[in-house]
Chain A
Amino acid sequence: MEKVFVITSGKGGVGKTTITANLGCTLAKMGDRVCLIDADIGLKNLDVVLGLENRIIHTVVDVATGRVKPEEALVKHKTLKNLYLLPASQIATKEMVSPEDMKQIVHELYPNFDYIIIDSPAGIERGFRNAVAAAEMAIVVTTPDLPSISDADRVIGLLESSGFDTGKIRLIVNRIKPKMVKRGEMLTKEDIVEVLAIQLLGLIPDTDEMVIATNRGVPVSLNGNEGVAQTFENIAKRLKGQPVNIEEDIPAEKLSFVEAFLRLFRRTRG
């Protein structure tokens, strides 16, 4: 199985960093040794989402320039003992690290970890190429709207031309509003998969708990095993090669009193 993943999207703001953090936490919770690498040099966020921004001493730029070894720059997560972050520098630029540097860093970390997840910056320039260089599998994140899907298509094309087999690229659709999909007001997962022609890895619903967790610096997957935490567990299992039905990603919505009543009413009539 592949163990080095890049989370990428092309378009910004679709949830790459949140997904990286949650996937890392979920895999670590399952007992795997996980290293997250923030490749968004100059606009770093992953440390904030993980609540580790105060613990950074060295960054990926220090490692690339040879000032410290990769292991020395790693920041350990507060509660998960087997989750580490290789943080990005906020004062450096993406040009200070090369794709070869990234390959070398991942190569050195490779034996010590079960999974290495690289958080790619938005865009398709140097930062993207850095993030993608060392990955064995790419996870493309999109939201169910046309601009995001269009950018995802472009990124999949770039991944293919940089040597990724189409079978090594997966898709996560983030911020799905199940109620809107039901009413036919939002693109369905079938629509998106048809357009992008790529294997689906997971569907993540748009919930308030995600927003709250991100702002608190505690990824949502650390809030027990309910709701979205369960979705990330499904995705993690699929990465490990276990078959989990994609329908299970969107938790069954709780019916309001009126809806439950109406449903009961229809059933007796029908």
Chain B
Amino acid sequence: MEKPQQSMVDLKFERDGLTLVIQPYTDIQEVISSIERLFAEMGNFVSEGDEVILSIPEGEKAADDLPALVAAVGKFGLNVAQVVVGRTRKTMKISDRTKKEATGRVSEGTKVVKRNLRSGQMVVHNGGVIVFGNVHPGAAIFAGGSVVVFGNLRGQVKAGLVEGETSVIAALEFSPTFLQISHFVMNEPPSFSQPAVAHVGTGRIVVEPYESVRFQDRGDKD
């Protein structure tokens, strides 16, 4: 059976940053068109100047095709920071989800959504996301930066996919089904009926009421 083309290339978030994983292939042209399709679907998730790690399969063939691959990624304004040969680390997959609906408006790097996000709806954005409304169970937010919900957060949030572990997730009422900040994951997060913040502290996600939160990184270093 023929494998679906989409699985040929995949964008994943690894410990070192955004990684474009290329599976073993036979035809370089197919890989390049898959890359183009993937970035077209991702919409504004990646923006010009972002760095990406290229993960290519082992073997001489891939090494020969490297310039063509770098050029394909470069067409979307991305810089290849590093090339990894073969697969070594555990990764988290994000690209599957981005095929679904993306909503809201981009302005100044932050996406502002002024409605309830319902089950099955999702927001994908490479910067921060602010939602004025509730995030219902079954809805999802994938953000490069921080996520702030002025309402009840009961869906799934992945934050810091670009900016890393300095990103936070905050909501007026806090009972999400799943949290991720950078590569840190939290299943069954605690619930708060008051404003609460999730952030990364001492190597894991910490969820605290807003009044008692102490950030390790206060975001004013630069």
Chain B residues contacting A156 (CB-CB under 8 Å) are 118
The answer to whether B134 touches A197, judged by C-beta atoms less than 8 angstroms apart, is yes
Question: How many residues belonging to A are interface residues under a CB distance threshold of 8 Å?
Answer: 11
- Tell me, yes or no, whether A13 is within 8 Å of chain B by CB: no
Interface with B: A74-82, A158-166, A172-180, which one? A158-166
The answer to whether B101 touches A153, judged by C-beta atoms less than 8 angstroms apart, is no
Partner of B136, one of A153, A158, A161, A166: A153
The answer to whether A154 touches B101, judged by C-beta atoms less than 8 angstroms apart, is no
By DSSP majority rule, is chain B's interface helix, strand, loop, or mixed? loop
- Tell me, yes or no, whether B23 is within 8 Å of chain A by CB: no
Q: Whose C-beta in chain B lies nearest to the C-beta of A158?
A: B120
- Tell me, yes or no, whether A264 is within 8 Å of chain B by CB: no
Q: Whose C-beta in chain B lies nearest to the C-beta of A198?
A: B116
The answer to whether B119 touches A157, judged by C-beta atoms less than 8 angstroms apart, is yes
- Tell me, yes or no, whether A181 is within 8 Å of chain B by CB: no
Question: How many residues belonging to B are interface residues under a CB distance threshold of 8 Å?
Answer: 14
By DSSP majority rule, is chain A's interface helix, strand, loop, or mixed? helix
When A and B form their complex, what is the total count of cross-chain residue pairs whose Cβ atoms lie within 8 Å?
29
A160 and B121 CA atoms in complex are apart in Å by 10
CB-CB contacts below 8 Å: B72-126 with A: 101, 115-121
- Tell me, yes or no, whether B138 is within 8 Å of chain A by CB: yes
Chain A residues contacting B139 (CB-CB under 8 Å) are 157
Partner of A154, one of B115, B133, B134, B138: B138
Q: Whose C-beta in chain B lies nearest to the C-beta of A159?
A: B118
Chain B residues contacting A157 (CB-CB under 8 Å) are 117-121, 139
Chain B 112-152, CB-CB to A under 8 Å as 1, else 0, gives: 00011111110000000000011011110000000000000
The answer to whether A160 touches B137, judged by C-beta atoms less than 8 angstroms apart, is no
Chain B nearest CB, measured from A147 CB (Å): 11
- Tell me, yes or no, whether A246 is within 8 Å of chain B by CB: no
Chain A 219-237, CB-CB to B under 8 Å as 1, else 0, gives: 0000000000000000000
A156 and B134 CA atoms in complex are apart in Å by 14
CB-CB contacts below 8 Å: A164-203 with B: 166, 195, 197
A195 and B133 CA atoms in complex are apart in Å by 12
The answer to whether A160 touches B138, judged by C-beta atoms less than 8 angstroms apart, is no
- Tell me, yes or no, whether A215 is within 8 Å of chain B by CB: no
Q: Which residues of B contact A (CB under 8 A)?
A: 101, 115-121, 133-134, 136-139
Q: Which residues of A contact B (CB under 8 A)?
A: 150, 153-154, 156-158, 160-161, 166, 195, 197
